[in-house]
Amino acid sequence: MDRVGVRELKQNPRAVIERVEHGATVEITLQGRAVAMISPITHRKKWTSAAEVAIALKLAELGPDQTGWLQEHHESRDADPLVDPWDAQ
């Protein structure tokens, strides 16, 4: 692992970032003691499909609703139907 002082990082940040970009993990030091690490992103996913979310939710053991929120939601929905505010009454 590479070690870089704060002063060197401040004076030449591009060189440090390029080392990280090429796979190095860089430890940042302040007065000789480690204070941070910069490491490369190994896998960055920009989008998760709906199918992947559905699979993840099916695999998760959520169990029954312990909060009562779902029941409350259904009751309020049934008692107060949607009304079009622009509909002339």
pLDDT tens digits for range 66-84 = 788 878 888 887 777 777 8
Q: Distance between CA atoms of 19 and 9, rounded to whole angstroms?
A: 12
Q: Is residue 60 part of a domain?
A: no
**Residue-wise pLDDT tens digits, 29-47:** 999 999 999 999 876 667 7
| C-alpha to C-alpha distance for 15 and 12, rounded to whole angstroms | 6
Domain count for the chain: 1
Residue 14 lies in a domain: yes
pLDDT: which is higher, 84 or 23:
23
Q: Is-contact 28 34, C-beta < 8 A?
A: yes
Instruction: Report d(CA 34, CA 5) in Å as an integer.
Output: 9
Take residue 60 and report the two structure tokens written for it: 């998760």
Residue 69 domain-assigned (yes or no): no
CB 25 within 8 A of CB 40: yes
Q: Are 19 and 3 in contact (CB under 8 A)?
A: no
Quick check: is 50 in a domain?
no
Determine, yes or no, domain membership for 16. Answer: yes
Structure pTM?
0.47
Q: What is the CATH number of the domain that holds 24?
A: 3.40.1620
Q: For residue 21, give its domain range.
A: 2-38
Q: What is the mean pLDDT of the chain?
A: 84
